[in-house]
Amino acid sequence: MPNAATFDLRPYLRGGGQSAGVWIALILLILFGLARYDNFGGAYNITSFLNYNSMFIAIAIGMAFVIMTGGIDLSVGSVAAFTSVVAAYLSPHGIEVALPGGVLAGAAFGAINAFVVIAMRIPPFIATLATMLGAKGGALVLSGAETIAVDWGSNFTKLGMGKAFEVLPWSIVIVAGVAIIAWLILEHTSLGRTVLAVGGNEEASTLMGLRVDRAKAFVYIFSGACAGLAGVILASGFGAGQPLEGLGWELSAIASVVVGGTLLTGGLGSIPATVAGALLLGLVFNVLNFENGKGTISLSAYWQLVIRGAFLFVVILLQTRVTGVKKAVS
C-alpha cells in the first residue's frame, strides 16, 4: 500500500483541471442536497439513486474507452434495450444464465461495430448509427414491440432489486467491479496505453508497431458488453425487458465521459472521473426531482432530454475553449 509521500493522484485526475473539477462539482452538489432536502441523505434515496444510475455508469465506462481512441458509439442505448429483452427471455434460467447472456449479446453488437470500423473502414459515427438502428429494430422484432415480463420465480430480479449484504444494491456493486477492472486495464496494461496512443495519433501508433486494430476492437466490444450489462440491470430492476428504452442514453454516456475530462478527439481520459461525471449528471436530476417535490419548479420527465442535451453542449463548448487555449499557449 503506497504511503502519502509516494501516492500518485495523476491516474485519478488524468485529464487535468476538468477531471478535478468534476469531483469538486460532485462534492458541492452533494453538500447542497444534504443542506436543502430532509431525506436527501436517507438510505432510500441513496440506494435508489445508485441502483438507477448504475446503468448509466456502465455505459459511460464503455463509452470512455471508445472516445479515448477518438471514436464514438451511438448504439449503446439501443443495445441496452435489446439486451434487456434478451435477459428477460433468459430470466427463467436465473441470473447465472441471463447476466452472461445479456452481456454477450451486447458484446456481439460491439463486435459488429468493431468489424465495420476496422475492416470496412467506415467512420465510427456512421457505423454505430447503423448499429443503433439495427439494435432498436431488433429489440422491437424480438419482443413484438411489447415489454417482456421477467420470471419472478427465479433469482433474476436480485440483480436489480436486491442488496449485497443488505447494504448496497447488487447492480452498483457489479458496476463498481467493472469500473475497477476498466481502470486497471487503462492504467496498468499495454492495452490501455495503446488505447490512449491511438487516440493521440493513430498513424504514429501504427508506425510505432502498436497493435492498433486490437485496441480498437477491444474498445467497441467492451462498450457493447457494458451496454449489455446495463440492459440486464434494466430488465432486472424494472421487472421486464424494455424494447422502447434507451432513448438518449448515448447522450448521457457522452456527457459523463466529456465532463470527466476525456477529450472527444481522444488520447486522454480517466475512468474514475468518468464515473464521477455519470454520478454528477444523475445527481442533477435527483436534485431536480427534490425541487419538484418542494414545488419550487415543475419539470416533467421529458425535460431530462433537454437538460442532457444542454449539459452536453455546455461541456463540449468549455472543453473546446480550454483545448483551444492550451494549443495557443503551446
Q: Mean pLDDT of successive 10-residue segments in the chain (330 residues)?
A: 44 54 90 93 94 96 97 97 97 96 98 97 96 97 95 93 89 97 96 95 93 97 98 96 93 90 88 94 90 74 74 72 52
Residue 303's pLDDT is 75
CATH number of the domain at 112, please: 1.10.3470
| Residue 11 is assigned to a structural domain of this protein | no
Q: What is the pTM of this model?
A: 0.90
Burial 75-108 (b: 16+ CB within 10 A, else e): bbbbbbbbbbbbbbbbbeeebeebbbbbbebbbb
Containing domain of residue 135, as a range? 17-329
In a domain, 116, yes or no: yes
The single residue listed with the C-alpha cell 421486464 is 240
User: Which grid coordinates belong to 19?
Assistant: 477531471
Q: Residue 194: inside a domain, yes or no?
A: yes
Rounded to whole angstroms, the Cα distance separating 271 from 281 reads 15
Give pLDDT, residue 165.
82
Question: What pLDDT shows up at residue 209?
Answer: 93
If one counts the domains in the chain, the total is 1
Between the CA atoms of 294, 40, 80 and 87, what dihedral angle is there, to the nearest 10 degrees? -110
Around Cβ 215, how many Cβ atoms within 10 Å? 24
Q: Is 330 helix (H, G, I), strand (E, B) or coil?
A: coil
The Cα 114–Cα 111 span in angstroms is: 5
**156 found inside a domain:** yes
- Tell me whether residue 319 is in a domain: yes
Q: Is residue 5, in this structure, part of any structural domain at all?
A: no
The verdict on residue 7 lying in a domain is: no
Residue 4 inside a domain? The answer is no
In the chain, how long is the greatest CA-to-CA distance?
Answer: 63
